[in-house]
Structure 1
Amino acid sequence: MKQKKWMIALSLALLSTAAFSQSKSENAPIFTQATYQGDDQIYKDNPLKPGEFYNPILQGCYPDPAITRKGDDYYLVVSSFAMFPGVPIFHSKDLVNWKQIGHVLDRVSQLDVHDTGISMGVYAPGITYNKNNDTFYMITTAFAGGLGNFVVKTKDPMKGWSDPIKLRFDGIDPSIFFDDDGKGYVVHNDAPAKGQELYNGHRVIKVWDYDVEKDQVVPGSDKMIVNGGVDLSKKPIWIEAPHLYKKDGRYFLMCAEGGTGGWHSEVVFVSNSPKGPFIPAGSNPILSQRYLPRDRKNKVDWAGHADLVLGPDNKYYGVFLGIRPNEKDRVNIGRETFILPVDWSGDFPVFENGLVPMEPKLKTPQSVENKTASKEFFPNGNFTYNENFTGSSLDFRWIGLRGPREDFITLTKKGLLIKPFETNVNELKPTSTLFYRQQHNTFSFSTTVDFKPQSEKNLAGIVCLQNEKFNYVFGITTNGKDRYLVLQRTEKGKSIILSSEKISAKGVVNLKVSAKGDQYQFSYSVDNINWINSGTVVSGDILSTNMAGGFTGCLIGLYATASNDAFPKLN
């Protein structure tokens, strides 16, 4: 009798488990495709001719670029903050055609951003090839996980990077320089000595000896080499992002100055030693857009945070960040990676046309063909990107936030299944959201989702996210037996429902967000033919860094949650 009762109990438990698993499976939406289409007028007005390419070279939130070269191979890294994986890395043979080869920090053992605000995490990476030991170094600062400043290494960037080596110094924006004699040096931004801060934004640049064998700065070797900036009497702010170079036996220190906003610039100093003293160039700044009319057409702004490399034509080039604001001067795309040729025929490098309004097109280096329209390379200009989620892997452009995307996605024969976490996009935790960066001011992003929510705590759809306190959620949820489509706006952490409407109880739904500058429209279709607007046009203000703050651009996500707080309005 006891055995029979035990068998009945076991059967009930198995049935309960099966029902639970089925419920979980039913609550996991399947996204069958996604399409991003950019349609900025500037590219229509400036079609490419042979021997030309578009600037920026990396559209969307790819800021703080750093670059290095080994032979004919160029490698470029950018900031990623709390996005996961971290530090996107790109490869090129010619500085025009770029291919993303992965991320430097692609393992949890390298990157812990679990409970971090989106603009924290890792940023301002430096990448350097050391010809003396045939090794690449990526150095950066992590505002999460207790790492601080650290370095990772590899012999081949195509094959992955080491676990982090924590470095024993404070400050931010480190980079490594290796001299011809094999000696290493680290330069970085730091606060002035305690009690010596003269004004808000007063920072200094320090240099350390770097022990190549121990992969550590040499204790006690630190020295301040720049105090405040080019001219301390003018109270310059945020001298940062330093890089050391050697040319004709002299050492050049190039830094950003003025903060990463409208006063951003690039300045340069020279010395006969990597440890100074460094003398500023009389022509500073060598790159900036800060002196130009605010109402200029096709504005590029905030230019700075640069790095130099010798190009395939034996001419120098500089990569740097900049922005392309919309018609209301809002920064929704975020800070992007630009490039300009650099004239170093004189004593100091100068960015060619870096102090006048920047043009959308550049001449390719001699004998270089622009192949960015090919699927093999990262696209720019206006383009359409289609993803049908039927492959065995996802493009590197799709990212998670605060944790690996593999924790919540599964590629199936039917499409992309997203397992909903019991967190939503307003929480400082990993979310079950697969993100794509906004790359144009005029764009559309659409997806097809098959989802039948089991409770009002379940939602799946699209999110447009600037950060955890500023975002739009557009998704399918339920009330009783009815399916609803809701649009929620979150500003300063407070959420309101802008629209909600009952839709058919079953079947796939097409969701879309489109924007023309500051005007965003969310719409849907249940027959894949007729599109219906959800509510009226809404402002993209909360998707701009001007309002939301921070360092990232708008991320567009395929979103699922088991902790929904966007409930439909009922009549």
Structure 2
Amino acid sequence: MYNLSITTGKIADGFSALLMLCCILMVQSCTVPVQTTASLSSDNGDGTYTNPVINADYPDPDIIRVGEDFYMVSSSFVAMPGIPICHSKDLINWRIIGHAYDSITFRPQYRMENEQTAYSRLCWAPSIKYHDGTYYIGVNIADDGFVMFKSNKPEGPYSMHKFDKRLYDPGFFIDDDGKKYVTHGKTKIYLTRLKDDGTGVLYPNDEGTLIITAPKGYEYLFEGCHTYKRNGWYYIFNPALGYNGVQMISRSRNLYGPYETKVLIDDDINYADAGVHQGGYVETLEGESWAYTFQDRDYMGRCVMLYPMKWEEDWPVVGPEGKPGKGVVTYRKPAVKAKQEITFPQHSDDFSSSKLAHVWEFNHVPRKDKWSLTDRPGYFRIYAQYAKGFEWARNSLTQKVSGPYSTGTVSLDLTGLREGDFAGNGIMGRVMYQLGVRKKADGFWLEMRQGGREGETVVDSLPVKTDKIYLRTEVTKQGSLLFYYSLDNLEYNRLGPEGVSNFWGFLGIRHALCCYNLNKGATGGYADFDYFELESNRRGNHYDAFTEIDFSQYDDREGMKLVRPVAKRPMQFISGVRDGNWLVFNNMCFKQNPQKVTIELQAETPGTVIEIREGSLDGKLIATCPINQNQTPGEWEKQAFEVSGAVKDKSKIYFLFRGQSQGLAIKNFVFY
């Protein structure tokens, strides 16, 4: 809810009225949070996209096409509702349209009973298919076995059919004759036939037929089946080797084998030392083939990647022309005729609907009587229940963090809190961070809380006298976390230390709205969240030339090597620079003609000249940058160079390396 109240007094004439109206519109445009979905899309608006297609945690994706519509499912683990279902017309712009289920309550830990949790359990690696008017989503529940969901609508609702059998990392497959199967397993891949209606295993004692054994050297995490039939061949996609992994492909003329297997994708794209994992392929209505996987982006989670694919002698070949087995950073969008607006799954929410938006998932099975969107229309209300810390707090409402950097801001009404209640906005991850307000006997205290399964501590606090507060979490481009508060939504102040959290329980970090009571046996109150605002100034591959830009954010490159000096963190630089190497930024935005450019680098010797050119490798030369030897060996330093040519407002900028400096590495640049 965003309310703007302006007292104007008597307006004497039409001009004054018009002036006042303009002022009101200006105030509204400055103070009312706006929907910023488009700024997070990987769609560059020029017919290209930049990987990751979804820069958020959508692990183990599976994609199908029905007509001109694409549907994608991904793992949700213990989050409820579970298995988000996304829709797109172009494979680039996605939105969530539903979930496979509202809740699964088989076990007490799914309900957080007796301080039990299941953060890394429940559902992963779902498989979706469509056949004769029915959508099927099959998934193995880690502790309960295989489940099949069925619906006549892609968004649901779905009926649930529980098997009494575990089928690990399943690839649900429907053959031309309508017979249904699941490929499943790890290192050894098995085939199990299902009943014709897909609601159970055809033969109860069937333990599966072994059809593929991982090739030597690729046994580790050879799993995640995606199974297809094309042109008389059966294909099974499997990843291998985990974090810095590869995608494998097996094919046979017979579903039961024998299969021949080889590597399909072996590349870290533009994220050093993190390969690819689990995916498949999909064909457009127009006949193009596109492969997809996820890539582990650490704190962000596992993000969806998309690659061009063609067929050679009935083998799939992934990659741009001349680079088989390689991914792409920026590439042309699929050539589909269907119209698709620019969208992104994650978004802001003003809680004005009486139904919870699909973007939200509870941390476990929620108590339905302890949250509401109707007790106070326009607000999301959580009723406090006892928890010894955020790790164990029921009804915490989560949304995936959007990358590579963004902020999440909530407006929180405190009037319903009772003594012992803590309510706030923070980050759910390997380390839990919560910035919020605790009601004590002497009033409200703003607290920065930090912890995990071993417990929770207050790392910073201060008293506040207010009934409403604004809390902001910033995910920086270094992958760190900063926390802010405001009493007026204008001036924000930092609280607490810089945080670092990471991938945990097979999940990327998440924004989390919470309210719990820290006093066992106490009667809790409630917290009212007015809105959640998601913001980012990042748009695909569009960069402001007058802000610092990392060279690792290139659109394409020839030669060189990406290096991440700190494991599991996103900071990168480029080394191994050789004569003739180049990299390009397709959408560099210049608000004015620059006078200079500064490059942060290391160089043991002089010798390299960097030519900065506009438009192409032999385009207009706008700067010549002769690299000098570092004054302090082994240290990063910034060297400045004159810019001699005018540039367009939006330009394709090439960095071309001539000559050879020993030990040259480059980190970032900025025009000014």
TM-score range, shorter chain: 0.7 to 0.9
- Whether the 8 Å contact between 2:407 and 2:474 is mirrored in structure 1 is yes
Counterparts of residues 522-541 of structure 1 (less than 5 Å): 522-536=483-497, 538-540=498-500
Give 2:134's aligned residue: 135
Deviation readout 1:154-182 (Å, 9 max, x if unpaired): 2222341112x222433411122111122
| Residue 554 (structure 1) shift | 0.6
**How many residues of Structure 1 are paired with residues of Structure 2 in the alignment?**
477
CA RMSD for the aligned pairs?
A: 3.0
Would the alpha carbon gap of residues 235 and 442 (structure 1) be closer, same or farther in structure 2, given more than 3 Å must change?
closer
Give 2:210's aligned residue: 224
Deviation readout 1:235-289 (Å, 9 max, x if unpaired): 6212111122112212122111112x12x22111111211111111xxx321232
Give 2:65's aligned residue: 69
Q: Does 1:544 align with 2:499?
A: no
Counterparts of residues 403-414 of structure 1 (less than 5 Å): 403-404=365-366, 406-411=368-373, 412-413=376-377
In structure 1, what is the Cα distance between the partners aligned to 2:259 and 2:400? 39
Query: The residue matched to 2:518 in structure 1 has which SS?
Result: coil
In structure 2, what is the Cα distance between the partners aligned to 1:121 and 1:270? 31
In structure 2, what is the Cα distance between the partners aligned to 1:457 and 1:362? 53
- Whether the 8 Å contact between 1:89 and 1:100 is mirrored in structure 2 is yes
Deviation readout 1:54-89 (Å, 9 max, x if unpaired): 332323111100112222232110000010000000
In structure 1, what is the Cα distance between the partners aligned to 2:35 and 2:502? 19
Task: Indicate which of 327, 345, 348 corresponds to 1:386.
Answer: 348
Deviation readout 1:117-161 (Å, 9 max, x if unpaired): 21211000001122xx432211101125xx311111122223411
Q: Identity over aligned residues, as a percent?
A: 23
Give 2:46's aligned residue: 50
Deviation readout 1:501-555 (Å, 9 max, x if unpaired): 0111x3211111113223322111112222221134x131xx212xxx4210111
In structure 2, what is the Cα distance between the partners aligned to 1:64 and 1:521? 29
Using the size of structure 1 for normalisation, the TM-score is 0.76
Give 2:146's aligned residue: 149
Task: Indicate which of 254, 265, 269 corresponds to 1:273.
Answer: 254
- Whether the 8 Å contact between 1:426 and 1:493 is mirrored in structure 2 is no
Deviation readout 1:287-346 (Å, 9 max, x if unpaired): 2325x8xxxx6558331201221113201112211133xxxxxx1111112222211233
Deviation readout 1:421-462 (Å, 9 max, x if unpaired): 22355445x612111111113211111111147555211111
Give 2:265's aligned residue: 287
Task: Indicate which of 225, 238, 241 corresponds to 1:242.
Answer: 225
Would the alpha carbon gap of residues 391 and 307 (structure 1) be closer, same or farther in structure 2, given more than 3 Å must change?
same
Q: Does 1:559 align with 2:514?
A: yes
Segments of structure 2 that go 5 or more residues without pairing to the other structure are 1-31, 521-672
Q: Does 1:366 align with 2:335?
A: yes
Task: Indicate which of 425, 441, 448 corresponds to 1:462.
Answer: 425
- Whether the 8 Å contact between 2:89 and 2:338 is mirrored in structure 1 is no
In structure 2, what is the Cα distance between the partners aligned to 1:149 and 1:274? 21
Would the alpha carbon gap of residues 510 and 454 (structure 1) be closer, same or farther in structure 2, given more than 3 Å must change?
closer
Using the size of structure 2 for normalisation, the TM-score is 0.65
| Residue 401 (structure 1) shift | 1.4
Counterparts of residues 115-264 of structure 1 (less than 5 Å): 115=112, 116-130=117-131, 133-144=132-143, 147-163=144-160, 165-190=161-186, 203-213=187-197, 215-219=199-203, 221=206, 222-227=208-213, 229=214, 231-232=215-216, 234=217, 236-259=219-242, 261-262=243-244, 264=245
Would the alpha carbon gap of residues 172 and 35 (structure 1) be closer, same or farther in structure 2, given more than 3 Å must change?
farther
In structure 2, what is the Cα distance between the partners aligned to 1:256 and 1:298? 18
Query: The residue matched to 2:155 in structure 1 has which SS?
Result: helix
- Whether the 8 Å contact between 1:73 and 1:91 is mirrored in structure 2 is yes
- Whether the 8 Å contact between 2:224 and 2:278 is mirrored in structure 1 is yes
In structure 1, what is the Cα distance between the partners aligned to 2:75 and 2:371? 24
- Whether the 8 Å contact between 1:51 and 1:370 is mirrored in structure 2 is no
Give 1:321's aligned residue: 294
Deviation readout 1:27-73 (Å, 9 max, x if unpaired): xxxxxx98897999x99xx9924212333232311110011222223
Query: The residue matched to 2:56 in structure 1 has which SS?
Result: coil
In structure 1, what is the Cα distance between the partners aligned to 2:163 and 2:414? 47
- Range moving further from structure 2, 418-427 or 53-62: 418-427
Query: The residue matched to 1:332 in structure 2 has which SS?
Result: helix
- Whether the 8 Å contact between 2:184 and 2:223 is mirrored in structure 1 is yes
- Whether the 8 Å contact between 1:37 and 1:444 is mirrored in structure 2 is no
- Whether the 8 Å contact between 2:37 and 2:344 is mirrored in structure 1 is no
Counterparts of residues 431-510 of structure 1 (less than 5 Å): 431-452=394-415, 455-467=418-430, 470-491=431-452, 493-504=454-465, 506-510=466-470
- Whether the 8 Å contact between 1:35 and 1:387 is mirrored in structure 2 is no
| Residue 409 (structure 1) shift | 2.7
- Whether the 8 Å contact between 2:140 and 2:166 is mirrored in structure 1 is no
In structure 1, what is the Cα distance between the partners aligned to 2:52 and 2:339? 14
- Whether the 8 Å contact between 1:51 and 1:368 is mirrored in structure 2 is no
- Whether the 8 Å contact between 1:289 and 1:355 is mirrored in structure 2 is no
Give the structure, 1 or 2, with the largest relative contact order (CA under 8 Å, sep 6 or more): 1
Task: Indicate which of 347, 361, 382 corresponds to 1:399.
Answer: 361
In structure 1, what is the Cα distance between the partners aligned to 2:37 and 2:474? 10
In structure 2, what is the Cα distance between the partners aligned to 1:320 and 1:448? 37
Deviation readout 1:486-505 (Å, 9 max, x if unpaired): 1011155243321110111x
- Whether the 8 Å contact between 1:65 and 1:305 is mirrored in structure 2 is yes
Would the alpha carbon gap of residues 88 and 443 (structure 1) be closer, same or farther in structure 2, given more than 3 Å must change?
same
Of structures 1 and 2, the larger Rg is shown by 2
Segments of structure 1 that go 5 or more residues without pairing to the other structure are 1-32, 191-202, 325-330, 566-571
| Residue 476 (structure 1) shift | 0.4
Give 2:16's aligned residue: none
In structure 2, what is the Cα distance between the partners aligned to 1:485 and 1:355? 55
Query: The residue matched to 1:447 in structure 2 has which SS?
Result: strand
- Whether the 8 Å contact between 1:176 and 1:187 is mirrored in structure 2 is yes
Counterpart amino acid of 2:285? Answer: P
- Whether the 8 Å contact between 1:52 and 1:370 is mirrored in structure 2 is no
- Whether the 8 Å contact between 1:174 and 1:189 is mirrored in structure 2 is yes
- Whether the 8 Å contact between 1:461 and 1:560 is mirrored in structure 2 is yes
In structure 2, what is the Cα distance between the partners aligned to 1:557 and 1:286? 38
Give 1:521's aligned residue: 482
Would the alpha carbon gap of residues 386 and 238 (structure 1) be closer, same or farther in structure 2, given more than 3 Å must change?
closer
Counterpart amino acid of 1:403? Answer: V
Query: The residue matched to 1:418 in structure 2 has which SS?
Result: strand
In structure 1, what is the Cα distance between the partners aligned to 2:369 and 2:165? 34
| Residue 109 (structure 1) shift | 6.7
